Structure 1
Amino acid sequence: MHQSQLHEQPPKQSIRTMFRDLLQRVKRSRLFIVLAIFAVFIVAMIEFFIPQAIQYTIDVIIPQQLVDQLIWVFVLVILAALMLIGFQFLGSFLMAIVGQRALYDLRNELYDHLQNLDVAFFDRNRTGDLMSRLTNDVNMLQQLLSSGLLTLLSDLFIFLAISIYMFYVNWQLALLILLTFPILFFVTRFFARRIRSAFRNVQASLAEINNHLQDSFSGIRLVKSFAMENFESERFQERNKTNQEANLKAAKNFSLFGPIVSFINYFGLAIVVAFGAWQTIGGEMTIGMIATFLIYLRLLQNPIRRVSRLMNTIQQAAAAYDRIQSVLSERPQIVSKLDAKTLNVTKGDITFDHVTFSYNDDKQALKQVTFNIAGGKTTALVGKSGSGKTTITNLLTRFYSPDHGTISIDGTPIDHVTLESLRSQISVVSQDIYLVNGTIRENIAYGTPEIDDLAVKKAAAIAKADEFIEELTEGYDTSVGERGIKLSGGQKQRISIARAILKNPQIILLDEATSALDTESEKSIQAGLDDLLRNRTALIIAHRLSTIQNANHIVVLDNGQVVEEGNHEQLLAQKGHYEKLHSLQHEALATI
């Protein structure tokens, strides 16, 4: 039923699959690609021309002492070099545009896909790892698109042009030279597999570093309050060491690959010098042709040298592509059905019918839970920690789906309506408050961005948040900081309540909504909450039983099961779980 965690070593995709996918992603940049290819073609032709000028100088100008032509050779080579710079810039910049466009689209696609995955997916996967896939991994693909593919095209043109010319001039020497290339091909393939595997480990270890940074920085107050700075530094050093070792393993393979390629290249150079000199002695070649062949050999070998660097980029990109695809291949289990209808809340009656649910296969959080929440009334859930209260709110909002049983609103199962319409009818105020890094106004209006300032201030007044907001220098334009760090727990909770009020929902879920408030502050906003809850369906979770004594109905949970139901007086009369919890709280208050 539940999806597994993202693999640390995601399934390998073939290089061909990666390139096919990337080519699909750059289709909208066809014009830029065509212009870049044209620029690369011109560069290849210029690089082919320059050795011809050198051969002409050696074989014609020097023997015939044509001094007056030297200036033209000089001018032509300089002009060719300037054109080379211009077209190299043009091709490189155009491919950078192509790469950035693809990067923009891919990152948006990946972010949108993550936004649509289930809450359970984020429970199982660490934030730092997901951030790494959106940033580092996508950047690796962008590097391949921007420079790698252009290098590949340029080398292909040069290789074809020079090979054809060399076969035309001296097919025996050309054949001997090109016989070294199959060796290079197999050496490259051998190291490609090893380097790709190494870079997959590099990417995974980098994700672990991001995870650690995310955890330690977001929990810096916890770290300092327990004086755990040295402990966290040691943990970071361990992860950094793992990353260093992974990089060194990749560098070892890459460093060995380069010299082997160089040896093969020098072997080709020896063939040209020895065989070319032998043919020149026999009158079949000229000194200028040998010089040209040597230059062309270097031009042919440059792509092979660049392949070592390009292979580095390709294998890093392939490892990154694997990790990105492992996210894109995830599918949300909780989606709107094709025939789902829009939820239209009339009475607001909610029914849990034999609902069973487990977060994992080890233990059931809810066991055959059945109860009703009357529309327009307030129902409270009470019970010890871990009894299943918050799980019920998570199921009602369809953050998770029951393993068995149904949840209905006004007789309609919630899995038969669209997720958007369901969640738009529900406001949640939980004990785990999240504020975005923006202003107080932006946080209150979150979910209703088009709302006017008057409505924002009215909601703040109901939540009794206006009292402290107006005392701030910048008022509603005050920045709350990351996760609302600049506000106290009580202030954050009031902002959260104001946000729920502004949404004006039909159903309200209050999960320990006033837990961060002292008794006086809680009483001061209770009147506003009572006004908000009037004629709405409300489900309240509270540990302090004094806050829910006036609820229309109270459901008592224990170990994931409903054990008692009734109002405050009825439950006290039953002398059961509720009465025991009530007595314990009164005894605790009496000792204060």
Structure 2
Amino acid sequence: MRIYQRFIQYYKPYQFLFFMDLFCAVIVSFVDLSFPQVLSYLSKHLFNQGREVIYSYLVYIGLILLAMYIIKYFCQYFITTWGHIMGARMESDMRRDLFEHFHKLSFAYYDKNNTGEMMSKLVGDLFDISELAHHGPENLFISILKILGSFTLLMLINVPMSLILLVITLLMVTFSVYKNLRMKSVFRDNRVKIAKVNSRLQDSLSGIRVVKSFANEDFEREKFGLSNDEFLLSKNESYHMMGGYHAWNSFFEGLLYTLIIVLGGIFIADGSIGLGDLAVYVLYVNVFISPISVLINFTEQFQKGFAGFRRFTDIMETEPDIVDKKTAAPLVSVKGDIAYNNVSFRYHDEYPVLDDVSLKIKAGRNIALVGPSGGGKTTLCSLLPRFYDVTAGSVTIDGKDIRNVTLKSLRNAIGIVQQDVYLFDGTVRDNIAYGKANATEEEIMEAAKNANIHDFILSLDTGYDTYVGERGVRLSGGQKQRIAIARVFLKNPPILILDEATSALDNESERFIQQSLEKLAENRTTIVIAHRLSTIKNSDEIIVITEGGIRERGTHKQLLENNGLYADYYNMQFEGLE
């Protein structure tokens, strides 16, 4: 019921369309039910009259029937057109809600879930749901009206034959319900398997350059083939079940017609039903069986849509673990004083990454974090914008616990430049402007100049309108990095995090970008994660972090004089030790 109630909520904005759809369905059902009645009436009261009488009424009868079918045409048009539009709008609303909910979920959710599977839920599942949203109520409503109406009229023609018809119909319904329950799990499995196919596809195409560089196309084909074959087996199972389902129901329909012929012959022989009444009875049996067939075919659509909506609901009911408190206030007039107070953190109930770490950074200072991989440097920085929440302790900015301020204001106050730069599909201008949505052309160009990339952009064929390609594939690593820096210049945050921003670049690119980063860091509280120690010599303080916590801290000169872990790292890089 919880899932049904959530599903019904999406009809609320479209109540007029929904009820008009049902109203038109009533008209269509009425027209379909009235034709056999018109034929029965004419057979008994008009067609047994003389030629002149028949001719005199046929024109009026033809006009009335024509008017009925013109009305049915407009109603059917509304049902097919606006009914589908209603379903498409509901699908759009669900897609919007799901997309927005994806953006509310923290990094912890994305650590455990695959992008391809999420795309499958956003696209494939919702299409089946929209078809269910349109055809579900309409098919049910029309079918129930036709079944009840036609059965009532069948009872008026011949009670015994109609009761036998009812028994066969109840057997069909019982069989359908039984098969339905079995098909539910199969269609749910279909959804899981196609999500895995999408996941494998997305993973392989995203890493296509790695695949080709290792000449691993055959390996990727094999991996994709396994997922594809699993989906095929799941589909085969569902089609076997559907085949038996539809074949048995077709058999039941044939049994109904067989009984009508046999029983009709018996009742004609004993005079309890006339030949004309039997003809009308057969017409009503067609009206009676047609909606049953629609409902039987609808079960496949229902199971697909319901399985998709259940997966949709599972995501929508996943509560974001990092949200604003009700009492959260915006972070304003940020100076940039940062404090980590007895901070501990672990990922997904695993071993602790940080354990009782305390650290204070004064506003405007440049702090560098160095140490072995896995020591917790990136994790420490990820806690500041609340990409993750601390397991214990607290993080404050200007003395305010970051859990007591709004996420939007907190993240607006922090600029991040990472080693792995992500550029969006679009132009150079679009990617720089991502740092400030309403930026002017002058502001974008000024940010590019500060990042030492303006002249390069102007050298491109279409300048700032140059298309960068998916993930910026048409640009070099240094060029992408400088665009990312320009993006942060445009954002102009009081706090800056540089996460190994130059470690993947050549020496020349590093020199240009280091100049840009130094300019970017001026008058900002800056935290630098670096493996290239040459880039952090001038930091106000260098902190060495290992799995055991903070091991050393001081200036570059002080740490070299201490001849400790930092000195070892430095000597390994600059004295050629192997």
Which TM-score applies when normalising by structure 1? 0.93
Q: Aligned AA for 2:316?
A: L
Deviation of the 1:60 alpha carbon = 5.7
The reply to whether residue 28 of structure 1 matches residue 13 of structure 2 is yes
The whole-number CA distance in structure 2 between the counterparts of 1:300 and 1:208 is: 42
Report if the CA contact (8 A) 1:441-1:476 is conserved. Answer: yes
Report if the CA contact (8 A) 1:92-1:146 is conserved. Answer: no
The whole-number CA distance in structure 1 between the counterparts of 2:2 and 2:46 is: 52
The reply to whether residue 230 of structure 1 matches residue 215 of structure 2 is no
Q: Please list, as runs of the form range in 1=range in 2, the aligned pairs for 1:318-397 lying within 5 A after superposition.
A: 318-397=306-385
The whole-number CA distance in structure 1 between the counterparts of 2:251 and 2:40 is: 27
Structure 2: gaps of 5 or more residues: none
Report if the CA contact (8 A) 1:365-1:560 is conserved. Answer: no
Deviation of the 1:31 alpha carbon = 1.7
Deviation of the 1:344 alpha carbon = 2.9
Alignment-derived partner of residue 541 in structure 1: 529
Report if the CA contact (8 A) 2:443-2:490 is conserved. Answer: yes
Q: Given the superposition, is the C-alpha separation of residues 538 and 45 from structure 1 closer, same or farther in structure 2, using an over 3 Å criterion?
A: same
Secondary structure of 2:352's partner?
Answer: coil
Deviation of the 1:129 alpha carbon = 0.5
Q: Given the superposition, is the C-alpha separation of residues 193 and 35 from structure 1 closer, same or farther in structure 2, using an over 3 Å criterion?
A: same
Deviates more, 1:62-71 or 1:111-120: 62-71
Report if the CA contact (8 A) 1:345-1:410 is conserved. Answer: no
RMSD between aligned residues = 2.0
Q: Given the superposition, is the C-alpha separation of residues 76 and 273 from structure 1 closer, same or farther in structure 2, using an over 3 Å criterion?
A: farther
Alignment-derived partner of residue 271 in structure 2: 283
Query: What percent identity do the matched residue pairs reach?
Result: 35
Alignment-derived partner of residue 285 in structure 2: 297
Alignment-derived partner of residue 45 in structure 1: 30
The whole-number CA distance in structure 1 between the counterparts of 2:548 and 2:183 is: 51
Q: Please list, as runs of the form range in 1=range in 2, the aligned pairs for 1:85-104 lying within 5 A after superposition.
A: 85-104=73-92
Alignment-derived partner of residue 203 in structure 1: 191
Alignment-derived partner of residue 113 in structure 1: 101
Q: Given the superposition, is the C-alpha separation of residues 21 and 524 from structure 1 closer, same or farther in structure 2, using an over 3 Å criterion?
A: closer
Report if the CA contact (8 A) 2:451-2:485 is conserved. Answer: yes
The whole-number CA distance in structure 1 between the counterparts of 2:475 and 2:25 is: 57
Q: Given the superposition, is the C-alpha separation of residues 132 and 165 from structure 1 closer, same or farther in structure 2, using an over 3 Å criterion?
A: same
Q: Given the superposition, is the C-alpha separation of residues 307 and 490 from structure 1 closer, same or farther in structure 2, using an over 3 Å criterion?
A: same
The whole-number CA distance in structure 2 between the counterparts of 1:303 and 1:17 is: 28
The whole-number CA distance in structure 1 between the counterparts of 2:573 and 2:149 is: 88
The whole-number CA distance in structure 1 between the counterparts of 2:424 and 2:459 is: 21
CA shift digits 1:2-42 (9 cap, x unpaired): xxxxxxxxxxxxxx554443332112222222222222111
Q: Aligned AA for 2:201?
A: L
Deviation of the 1:407 alpha carbon = 1.1
The whole-number CA distance in structure 1 between the counterparts of 2:260 and 2:550 is: 88
Secondary structure of 2:575's partner?
Answer: helix
Deviation of the 1:388 alpha carbon = 1.2
Report if the CA contact (8 A) 1:387-1:557 is conserved. Answer: yes
Q: Aligned AA for 2:551?
A: V
Report if the CA contact (8 A) 2:3-2:313 is conserved. Answer: no
Alignment-derived partner of residue 179 in structure 2: 191
Q: Aligned AA for 1:216?
A: S
Q: Please list, as runs of the form range in 1=range in 2, the aligned pairs for 1:453-468 lying within 5 A after superposition.
A: 453-468=441-456
Deviation of the 1:59 alpha carbon = 5.0
Deviates more, 1:194-203 or 1:272-281: 272-281
The whole-number CA distance in structure 1 between the counterparts of 2:48 and 2:254 is: 30
Report if the CA contact (8 A) 2:157-2:281 is conserved. Answer: no
Report if the CA contact (8 A) 1:501-1:532 is conserved. Answer: yes
The reply to whether residue 569 of structure 1 matches residue 557 of structure 2 is yes
Q: Please list, as runs of the form range in 1=range in 2, the aligned pairs for 1:96-495 lying within 5 A after superposition.
A: 96-495=84-483
Report if the CA contact (8 A) 1:511-1:541 is conserved. Answer: yes
Deviates more, 1:570-579 or 1:531-540: 531-540
Report if the CA contact (8 A) 2:334-2:413 is conserved. Answer: no
Q: Aligned AA for 2:324?
A: S
Deviates more, 1:579-588 or 1:339-348: 339-348
The whole-number CA distance in structure 2 between the counterparts of 1:211 and 1:173 is: 56
Q: Aligned AA for 1:456?
A: I
The whole-number CA distance in structure 1 between the counterparts of 2:195 and 2:548 is: 36
CA shift digits 1:421-443 (9 cap, x unpaired): 11110000011211110111111
The reply to whether residue 520 of structure 1 matches residue 508 of structure 2 is yes
Deviates more, 1:327-336 or 1:347-356: 347-356
Secondary structure of 1:406's partner?
Answer: strand
Secondary structure of 1:176's partner?
Answer: helix
Deviation of the 1:586 alpha carbon = 0.8
CA shift digits 1:247-272 (9 cap, x unpaired): 11111111101121122223332333
Q: Aligned AA for 1:257?
A: Y
CA shift digits 1:153-196 (9 cap, x unpaired): 21122112212222233333322211222222211111111111
Q: Aligned AA for 1:296?
A: Y
The whole-number CA distance in structure 2 between the counterparts of 1:306 and 1:107 is: 28
Deviation of the 1:201 alpha carbon = 0.9
> Could you tell me which of 499, 505, 509 is aligned with 2:487?
499
Alignment-derived partner of residue 531 in structure 1: 519
The whole-number CA distance in structure 1 between the counterparts of 2:315 and 2:115 is: 13
Secondary structure of 1:428's partner?
Answer: strand
The whole-number CA distance in structure 2 between the counterparts of 1:204 and 1:313 is: 17
Report if the CA contact (8 A) 2:385-2:410 is conserved. Answer: yes
Q: Aligned AA for 2:498?
A: L
Deviation of the 1:94 alpha carbon = 2.0
Q: Aligned AA for 2:260?
A: V
Secondary structure of 2:459's partner?
Answer: coil
Secondary structure of 1:365's partner?
Answer: strand
The whole-number CA distance in structure 2 between the counterparts of 1:587 and 1:483 is: 37
Deviation of the 1:103 alpha carbon = 1.0
The whole-number CA distance in structure 1 between the counterparts of 2:27 and 2:165 is: 25
Deviation of the 1:565 alpha carbon = 0.6
Q: Given the superposition, is the C-alpha separation of residues 31 and 571 from structure 1 closer, same or farther in structure 2, using an over 3 Å criterion?
A: same
Report if the CA contact (8 A) 2:339-2:359 is conserved. Answer: yes
Deviation of the 1:282 alpha carbon = 2.9
Q: Given the superposition, is the C-alpha separation of residues 144 and 58 from structure 1 closer, same or farther in structure 2, using an over 3 Å criterion?
A: same
Structure 1: gaps of 5 or more residues: 1-15
Which TM-score applies when normalising by structure 2? 0.95
The whole-number CA distance in structure 2 between the counterparts of 1:317 and 1:409 is: 48
Q: Aligned AA for 1:49?
A: S
Deviates more, 1:357-366 or 1:532-541: 357-366
Q: Given the superposition, is the C-alpha separation of residues 504 and 355 from structure 1 closer, same or farther in structure 2, using an over 3 Å criterion?
A: same
